[in-house]
Structure formats: structure tokens, C-alpha cells
């Protein structure tokens, strides 16, 4: 797949098939705008925009528009377990459409209602998936493409390698985007060579000048190797990739016995995950702003291996596509 002929570049009208994936709490509006301005597409994480970076949702989108006129995307976490949160997502989707957003990345639930809602607007819906079963459900819901989250990704990583995930999902016939493990030109080229139509990066863009994360967090990414990335359930109740910082080593990455019981029990797991998720919103926000002075909860994926300095978004993108 050449960059010029990617589905993403053609349908979104962007220069490079590079998405800066939504990141709670790291997606500050300046980072989103910088990626779009540099020829990729930045994706807004709505809780990050409103809760961490303190913008009203519509005003936040308009602020990004003052920084770039190029396409941006919106991430919607559409898990049904909280009715209130699902309603909020519907509201955000409506506002985003009014504000001219044409790219949506859904995760966690069934994206059928998002697909129906955007119909006729010319917008694209891509769904995050970690395996064939969930991918098929998203295809049945009518999505336009799949974000294939592999076992190297930051955030909630998958379990399957980029190669196998591509082979498993290519027969579904939709454009596939590789998410996870891309931090340099070599890994970028390898993903396109496999057949992916584009890539979604998170970790690489945290170590950028435009990301407002604390310098301790950025430096931890620069210093880390792939072997330093571990999974912990201590944050959201489901495995999240983090750097094995001194804080993590001292505290341990495993949840305690009672928490494990509550998280594994089908009757209590939704409640337990909800509790953990809400608590982690605060913990992650503090780590983002205060760095090592707080708790070193630094989410990152194995792409840290290819990241050796903090640089501007434009030079990161130039470095990838050179």
C-alpha cells in the first residue's frame, strides 16, 4: 500500500495515513490540531477535552478549528454499561456533526447507532477491534473501516500480533488501520507493507512538544524499552499498558484479592470496572500534570522502543514518512 493510494488519505482528504489515536488524558487540543496540521489526522478524546483540558465540548472543537482547518476525528467509547455516559456520547456525536467532524472512531460497544446517525453526512466510522469476533460485529453494524489494536499497543492493548491480526481481518474486506507498536519509520513502513491502509499512533505523540503531558512522562517514554511495558488492571480494572516505573515496581501491577474477585465475577464485574474507571480518571489526570511528584502512572505501548527524543509533531510525521 503506497501512501498516495491509501483509503484514509483519499476519503479523509489528508496527506499521510497517520492517525493520532485518542488518548485519555493526553489528547490536549493543541496536540490534536498539530497532527492534523502536519498532514495526519488528530482524534479528539471527549473526556480529555472537557475534564482534563477544561473546554466545553463545542467550544473545544471550535478552539481546535482556530489552530487547524484540516480534518479532525472524534473518539466515542460506546460501552452500554452506563446509560448516562452513552447519552453523553450521543450528545457529543450530534455536536461534532454540527461542527463538521467527518471521522469517528468508536470503541468498546456496538457502533450500529453511530453508523445510522452519521448516514448521509459523508462521515466515516472506524471501529477499534482486537479480534475477529468483535470485528465481525462491527462489520455487521456497517462501519467503514477497522482500527486493529494489536498486542504492542498503548492503552487497552490487544493480544494478537499485527501480522496475525491483519491476516485474520483482511478477509472482512474493509480498510484496516494498524494500531500499536509504531514509533519510527521502520515500523511505519512495515505496517503499510503488511497491507494496512494506515496507522494509528498514541505513545509516539505523547513524546512531542505539542503534548501537554509532564516532562517526566515524556522522558520516561524516551528512556523505556519494549521490555519495560507491562499490563496492569490497577487503573481501569481491565489490562492497560503502562511503563514499569519505580512507582509501579514498588506498588505492584496486580490487583488485590477482593478486587480480583469483584473484577472476575460476572455479577460484579461491571460495577467494579465502573468504580476503577472513574477513579483512574483522577489518577491519570494527576500523573499527566504532576509527573513523578504524583504517582508514575505513565500509559505507553511497546513503540517506546523506537522513540529516542521529544520532538515536534511535524518532525515526528516527517520522520515516519521520509
Contact positions toward ligand FMN, by CB under 6 A? Answer: 21-24, 26, 45, 75, 77, 107, 128, 149, 152-155, 179-182, 200-204, 299-301, 303
- Residue nearer to ligand FMN on the CB measure, 205 or 262: 205
Residue 105's DSSP bridge partners are 75, 126
CB-wise, 262 or 304, nearer to ligand FMN? 304
Q: How far is CA 187 from CA 44, 131, 151, 152, 198, in A?
A: 24, 21, 14, 11, 12
Mode of pairing for the β-strands spanning 41-44 and 72-77? parallel
CB 118 within 8 A of CB 148: no
3 state SS of 44: strand
241, 244, 250, 254 alpha-carbon torsion, rounded to 10°: 30
Rounded least distance, CB 258 to ligand FMN, Å = 27
In the complex, the smallest distance separating the C-beta of residue 119 from ligand FMN, rounded to whole angstroms, is: 22
Our CB check for ligand FMN shows the closer of 97 and 226 to be: 226
DSSP per position, 81-138: T-HHHHHHHHHHHHHHHHTT--EEEEESS-THHHHHHHTTTT-EEEEEESSHHHHHHH
Determine what percent of the chain falls in helix, strand and coil, rounding each to the nearest 5: 50, 15, 35
Phi, psi of 220 (to 5 degrees): -60, -35
Q: Which is nearer to ligand FMN, 77 or 139 (CB)?
A: 77
For ligand FMN, give the closer residue by CB, 181 or 262. 181
Cβ closest to ligand FMN, residue 39 vs residue 202: 202
Q: How far is the CB of 242 from ligand FMN (least distance, A)?
A: 9
Q: Which is nearer to ligand FMN, 199 or 255 (CB)?
A: 199
Residue 103: CB partners within 8 Å, gap ≥ 6? 12, 41, 43, 71, 72, 73, 74, 123, 124, 126
CB of 261 to ligand FMN, least distance (A): 27
Least Å from the CB of residue 25 to ligand FMN: 7
At closest approach, how far in Å is the CB of 231 from ligand FMN?
A: 13
Q: Which is nearer to ligand FMN, 188 or 262 (CB)?
A: 188
**DSSP-assigned letters across all residues of 212-278:** -S-HHHHHHHHH--GGGEEEESTTTSS-EEEE--HHHHHH-SSPPHHHHHHHHSTTTHHHHHHHHHH
- Phi/psi at 121 (nearest 5 deg)? -90, -10
Question: From the CB of 37, what's the least distance to ligand FMN, in Å?
Answer: 19
| Least distance (Å) between residue 265 CB and ligand FMN | 26
Amino acid at each position: 500500500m503506497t501512501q498516495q493510494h491509501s483509503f484514509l488519505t483519499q476519503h479523509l482528504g489528508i496527506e499521510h495515513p497517520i492517525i493520532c489515536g485518542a488518548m485519555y488524558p493526553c489528547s490536549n487540543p493543541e496536540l490534536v490540531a498539530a497532527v492534523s496540521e502536519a498532514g495526519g489526522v488528530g482524534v479528539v478524546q471527549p473526556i480529555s477535552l472537557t475534564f482534563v483540558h477544561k473546554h466545553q465540548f463545542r467550544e473545544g472543537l471550535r478552539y481546535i478549528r482556530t489552530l487547524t482547518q484540516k480534518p479532525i476525528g472524534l473518539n466515542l467509547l460506546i460501552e452500554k454499561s452506563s446509560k448516562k455516559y452513552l447519552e453523553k456520547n450521543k450528545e457529543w456525536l450530534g455536536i461534532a456533526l454540527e461542527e463538521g467532524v467527518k471521522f469517528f472512531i468508536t470503541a468498546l460497544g456496538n457502533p450500529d447507532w453511530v453508523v445510522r446517525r452519521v448516514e448521509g453526512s459523508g462521515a466515516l466510522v472506524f471501529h477499534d477491534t482486537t479480534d475477529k469476533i468483535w470485528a465481525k460485529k462491527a462489520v455487521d453494524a456497517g462501519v467503514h473501516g477497522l482500527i486493529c489494536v494489536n498486542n504492542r499497543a498503548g492503552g487497552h492493548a490487544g493480544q494478537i500480533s499485527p501480522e496475525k491480526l491483519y491476516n485474520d481481518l483482511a478477509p472482512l474486506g474493509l480498510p484496516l488501520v494498524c494500531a500499536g507498536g509504531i514509533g519510527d519509520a521502520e515500523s511505519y513502513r512495515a505496517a503499510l507493507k503488511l497491507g494496512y491502509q494506515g496507522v494509528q499512533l498514541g505513545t509516539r505523540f505523547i513524546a512531542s512538544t505539542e503534548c501537554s503531558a509532564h516532562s517526566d512522562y515524556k522522558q520516561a517514554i524516551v528512556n523505556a524499552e519494549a521490555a519495560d511495558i507491562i499490563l496492569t488492571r490497577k487503573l481501569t480494572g481491565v489490562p492497560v499498558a503502562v511503563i514499569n516505573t519505580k512507582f509501579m515496581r514498588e506498588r505492584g501491577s496486580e490487583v488485590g484479592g477482593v478486587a480480583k474477585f469483584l473484577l472476575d465475577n460476572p455479577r460484579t464485574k461491571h460495577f467494579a470496572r465502573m468504580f476503577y474507571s472513574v477513579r483512574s480518571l483522577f489518577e491519570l489526570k494527576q500523573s499527566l500534570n504532576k509527573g513523578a511528584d504524583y504517582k508514575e502512572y505513565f500509559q505507553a505501548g511497546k513503540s517506546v522502543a523506537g522513540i529516542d527524543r521529544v520532538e515536534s509533531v511535524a518532525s515526528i510525521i516527517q520522520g515516519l514518512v521520509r
